[in-house]
């Protein structure tokens, strides 16, 4: 398989990396993070005009990309600059909306144009990253649905115009069946959002739904069959986070190498000390392993469900482990200065640590990878047994 990027992707990567390097320096990021909204509407509009948002969606959805490698290229460049604009919420909510049919095309087009912001509210306080564990309820009331429940750590929910909310229309709290997705405008009566900053400079919110009434047309897809849409959207988000982490790792690595080459002890750059060289060599090898995991996940994004989800979980597990290693080693190799606010490095370290906890941490994805493999092996064994029985009776 050819993993080389197309000319269009290379051009997009070069354009976005130059823009981030020139227009999104750490001082600008600090100012954006400290703003009331937590991101810049002007920057968001500029990214849209550059076509960056459109690269996350395919032509049928109004974009010009949408493949796994398009997502990886964009988010790796964003990770190099710790960009705060709502790319991940847009990808998550937009992917769900795009799968919901033609009637949501206008909403997706507004996202691509940078005219609106949407986010996905699927995690709950007791869900433990399990998408099917949904306690939020949605009951039918005439021509409407009434939603009640609480969603936790929803990215940029306080700034979103639309929320895509998972709710249970039937079944028990952990059932895979009976989950539905609803599009809820932020101004809907009964919807309450409590925003707060996160340690990596972003913003999230607790979302409370108190008898929120939405029309039946707000249902995304078929009633009770929302888990597949949810898994599709979150899978793309997992890939995006993994690619973002690789970009952040590359930048942290470059900063650390530069420091080792300039900081002197005993009249020599500390990078000439063999013990530090060995530690840095381990970091470089681990980053390349993380990059390979992202490439594998991007290539598998359109494969069958088990192949896709195992590749995504493998990548997220690798990113969680390697991201923590890169963060720790980079700071330790810098010494005390590595913990100061003025140095960009600790902000990259915090982001790498937080990425591990978004959309499933290292432990969750390791268990999921094993479970998916066990299920696949069992299914294969059943098929082979049936084939042997058929051959024996032939």
Is 165 part of a structural domain of the chain?
yes
Is 316 part of a structural domain of the chain?
yes
Q: What is the reported pLDDT for 387?
A: 66
Helix axis angle, 305-334 to 362-393, nearest 10° = 150
Clarify whether residues 251 and 307 are in a common domain.
yes
pLDDT (mean) for 108-119: 96
Q: Any idea what the CATH number is for the domain that residue 173 is in?
A: 2.40.110.10
| Local confidence band at 112 (pLDDT 50, 70, 90 cut-offs) | very high
- Residue of higher predicted confidence among 8 and 106: 106
| Local confidence band at 174 (pLDDT 50, 70, 90 cut-offs) | very high
Is 393 part of a structural domain of the chain?
no
Clarify whether residues 89 and 128 are in a common domain.
no
Strands 144-155, 137-141: parallel, antiparallel or unpaired by DSSP?
Answer: antiparallel
Clarify whether residues 126 and 112 are in a common domain.
no
**For the chain, how far is it from start to end, CA to CA, in angstroms?**
38
pLDDT (mean) for 31-37: 94
Report the percent of the chain where pLDDT is more than 70. Answer: 94
Is 388 part of a structural domain of the chain?
no
Give me the residue label for tokens 């849409």.
Answer: 229
Q: What is the reported pLDDT for 170?
A: 96
- Contact at 8 Å (CB) between 238 and 316? yes
Q: What is the reported pLDDT for 264?
A: 87
Is 343 part of a structural domain of the chain?
yes
Q: Helix or strand or coil: residue 347?
A: helix
Give me the residue label for tokens 């992202």.
Answer: 294
Is 41 part of a structural domain of the chain?
yes
Residue that is last in its domain, among 196, 224, 252: 224
In terms of phi and psi (left: phi > 0; alpha: psi -120 to 50; beta: otherwise), the region of 220 is beta
pLDDT above 70 for 282: yes
Q: What is the reported pLDDT for 4?
A: 72
Give me the residue label for tokens 């009964």.
Answer: 190
Residue that is last in its domain, among 91, 117, 143: 117
Helix axis angle, 68-81 to 87-98, nearest 10° = 160
Of the ranges 8-22, 159-173, 291-305, 372-386, which one carries the lowest mean pLDDT score? 372-386
Q: What is the largest CA-CA distance in the chain?
A: 82
pLDDT (mean) for 180-200: 96
| Local confidence band at 2 (pLDDT 50, 70, 90 cut-offs) | low
With residue 210 as reference, give the H or E element that holds it: strand 203-215
Clarify whether residues 104 and 143 are in a common domain.
no
With residue 290 as reference, give the H or E element that holds it: helix 274-299
Clarify whether residues 84 and 21 are in a common domain.
yes
Is 391 part of a structural domain of the chain?
no
Q: Helix or strand or coil: residue 312?
A: helix
Count of beta carbons in the 10 Å neighbourhood of residue 67: 17
- Contact at 8 Å (CB) between 225 and 193? no
- Contact at 8 Å (CB) between 22 and 46? no
Clarify whether residues 366 and 250 are in a common domain.
yes
Residue that is last in its domain, among 99, 117, 135: 117
Of the ranges 13-17, 72-76, 115-119, 386-390, which one carries the lowest mean pLDDT score? 386-390
Report the percent of the chain where pLDDT is more than 90. Answer: 86
pLDDT above 60 for 383: no
CA 29 – CA 35 distance, rounded (Å): 10
Q: Any idea what the CATH number is for the domain that residue 349 is in?
A: 1.20.140.10
- The pair of structure tokens assigned to 46 is 């500029």
pLDDT (mean) for 190-217: 96
CA 251 – CA 348 distance, rounded (Å): 8
| Local confidence band at 378 (pLDDT 50, 70, 90 cut-offs) | low
Q: What is the reported pLDDT for 7?
A: 83
pLDDT (mean) for 178-207: 96
pLDDT for 331-363, tens place per residue?
999 998 998 989 999 999 999 999 999 999 999
Q: Please list the residues that pair with 249 across neighbouring strands.
A: none
- What 3 state SS string does 70-111 have? HHHHHHHHHHHHCCCCCHHHHHHHHHHHHCCCHHHHHHHHHH
Full residue range of the structural domain in which residue 197 is found: 119-224
Clarify whether residues 220 and 292 are in a common domain.
no
- The pair of structure tokens assigned to 277 is 């060289």
Predicted TM-score (pTM) of this structure: 0.94
Q: What is the reported pLDDT for 33?
A: 95
| Local confidence band at 122 (pLDDT 50, 70, 90 cut-offs) | very high
Q: What is the reported pLDDT for 101?
A: 82
Clarify whether residues 134 and 106 are in a common domain.
no
Q: What is the reported pLDDT for 100?
A: 85
Q: What is the reported pLDDT for 102?
A: 86
Average pLDDT in the chain: 93
In terms of phi and psi (left: phi > 0; alpha: psi -120 to 50; beta: otherwise), the region of 303 is beta
CA 217 – CA 145 distance, rounded (Å): 9
Clarify whether residues 100 and 154 are in a common domain.
no
Clarify whether residues 251 and 306 are in a common domain.
yes
pLDDT above 60 for 1: no
Clarify whether residues 138 and 112 are in a common domain.
no
Is 1 part of a structural domain of the chain?
no
Strands 179-185, 219-220: parallel, antiparallel or unpaired by DSSP?
Answer: antiparallel
CA 19 – CA 311 distance, rounded (Å): 31
Give me the residue label for tokens 């005993």.
Answer: 266
Q: Any idea what the CATH number is for the domain that residue 101 is in?
A: 1.10.540.10
- The pair of structure tokens assigned to 44 is 């968001």
Q: What is the reported pLDDT for 3?
A: 63
Domain count, the chain: 3
Which one-letter DSSP state was computed for residue 4?
Answer: P
In terms of phi and psi (left: phi > 0; alpha: psi -120 to 50; beta: otherwise), the region of 300 is alpha
Clarify whether residues 47 and 104 are in a common domain.
yes
């Amino acid at each position: 398989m050819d993993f080389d990027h197309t000319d269009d992707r290379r051009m997009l990567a070069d354009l976005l990396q130059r823009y981030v390097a020139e227009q999104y320096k750490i001082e600008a990021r600090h100012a954006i993070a400290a703003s009331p909204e937590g991101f810049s509407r002007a920057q968001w509009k500029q990214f849209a005009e550059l076509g960056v948002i459109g690269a996350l969606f395919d032509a049928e959805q109004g974009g010009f990309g949408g493949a796994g490698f398009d997502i990886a290229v964009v988010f790796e460049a964003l990770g190099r600059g710790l960009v705060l604009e709502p790319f991940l919420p847009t990808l998550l909510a937009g992917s769900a909306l795009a799968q919901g049919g033609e009637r949501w095309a206008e909403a997706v087009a507004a996202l691509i144009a940078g005219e609106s912001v949407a986010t996905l509210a699927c995690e709950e306080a007791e869900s433990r990253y399990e998408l099917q564990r949904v306690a939020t309820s949605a009951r039918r009331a005439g021509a409407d649905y009434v939603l009640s429940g609480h969603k936790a750590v929803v990215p940029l929910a306080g700034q979103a115009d639309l929320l895509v909310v998972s709710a249970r229309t039937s079944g028990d709290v952990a059932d895979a069946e009976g989950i539905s997705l609803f599009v809820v405008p932020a101004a809907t009566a009964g919807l309450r959002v409590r925003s707060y900053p996160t340690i990596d400079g972003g913003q999230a919110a607790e979302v409370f739904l108190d008898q929120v009434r939405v029309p039946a047309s707000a249902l995304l897809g078929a009633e009770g069959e929302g888990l597949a849409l949810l898994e599709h959207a979150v899978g793309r988000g997992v890939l995006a986070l993994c690619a973002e982490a690789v970009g952040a790792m590359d930048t942290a690595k470059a900063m650390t190498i530069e420091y080792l080459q300039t900081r002197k002890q005993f009249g020599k750059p500390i990078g000439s000390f063999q013990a530090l060289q060995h530690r840095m060599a381990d970091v470089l090898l681990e980053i390349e392993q993380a990059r390979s995991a992202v490439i594998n996940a991007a290539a598998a994004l359109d494969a069958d469900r088990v192949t896709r989800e195992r590749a995504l979980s493998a990548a997220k597990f690798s990113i969680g482990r390697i991201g923590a290693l890169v963060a720790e080693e980079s700071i330790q190799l810098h010494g005390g200065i590595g913990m100061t606010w003025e140095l960009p490095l600790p902000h990259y370290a915090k982001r790498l640590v937080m990425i591990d906890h978004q959309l499933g941490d290292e432990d969750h994805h390791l268990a999921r990878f094993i479970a998916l493999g066990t299920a696949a092996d069992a299914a294969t064994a059943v098929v082979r047994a049936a084939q042997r029985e058929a051959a024996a009776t032939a």
